[in-house]
Amino acid sequence: MIIVTGGAGCIGSATVWALNTRGRQDILIVDRLGKGEKWKNLVSLQYRDFIQPDDFLRGITSGTFTPAGIEAVVHLGACSSTTETDADYLMSNNYAWSVSLAEWCLKHDIRLVYASSAATYGDGGTGYHDDPESARSLKPLNMYGYSKHAFDLHAINRGWLHKMAGLKFFNVFGPNEYHKGDMRSVVLKAWSALNSGSEYPLFRSHREGYADGEQRRDFVWLKDVTKVILFFLDHPDINGIFNVGSGTASSFNQLLTAVFDAMGKPPSITYIDMPLHLRDRYQYYTCADISRLRSVGYDSPCTPLEEAVREYVQEYLAQGKHLS
């Protein structure tokens, strides 16, 4: 059996979907569904069981949850809000929870693939290199990024990385993110606004060298992300921390233009001032260095931005569909 924590979330449910396409249904989902519509991500998926995170954590720490038959854990469960300000909550939910799970996996020789984040890179001043030694110099800009960075450092300092794989996801977009509120991708936010006849303005630049809307991100298609996750499940001998992105930095102008094109609308982009509370914590450029990922044998091509946006808009958003 494979355990997927955060299995009802965007990347988690997509991972379950990808496993289903292989005929795998022996999956235990660990997640909270809350009062929103995250449960809809599970409707078309096949899995063996579902358990609340608190019950699962008590089970593995008390020894009442048996490790027999557990092949691997894909740990995607976390608070992923980059604007969350409760540092104690983030350290408990994202850091301490991950430490307990990693210790359990190591004790029972269970494969662990866990989610780190590109938010650990901060403003990118030291680059986007995913080798362990570079991690020691990183300075995240928000508490979410720090909670992920803290676990990466813990794994490095404890010598765990030769037995597990950490994946630094960049800006993931794709189906099954409907429930994420303000953390939804720009593609979904822009489509929702344009579909209702409203504008979707981009932020003006407040940094020299960047024109309005030319702030850049590594936008990566959700289905490409699932291919990487399955690669690390297929190769338990490949371990360490790896960037997961497209390897290309695209501007928000390019992204929004791709949304307009996918909707058959002529591009019309306006700009607004960036809120003051974001200006000191805003990343103007991210781009995954995926050379280490390629060096260990991952050779699947990355879907071009325009092609991925077109599929997302036309085959999912316009039809109100989830992965199935």
Enzyme catalytic residues: 144, 180
3-state secondary structure of 67: coil
Tell me, what DSSP letter sits at residue 100? H
Cα angle 12, 224, 10 (rounded to 5 degrees) comes to 25
Are 113 and 75 in contact by the 8 Å Cβ rule? The answer is: yes
The answer for 174, left when phi > 0, alpha when psi is -120 to 50, beta otherwise, is left
State in Å, rounded, how far the first CA of the chain is from the last one.
21
Pairing relation of β-strands 216-217 and 250-251?
antiparallel
Phi and psi angles of residue 166, each rounded to the nearest 5 degrees, phi first: -105, 135
Cα angle 197, 199, 203 (rounded to 5 degrees) comes to 165
Tell me, what DSSP letter sits at residue 207? S
How far is residue 168 from each of residues 41, 53, 114, 128, 207, measured CA to CA in Å? 23, 22, 9, 10, 26
CA separation for the pair 188, 173 (Å, rounded): 8
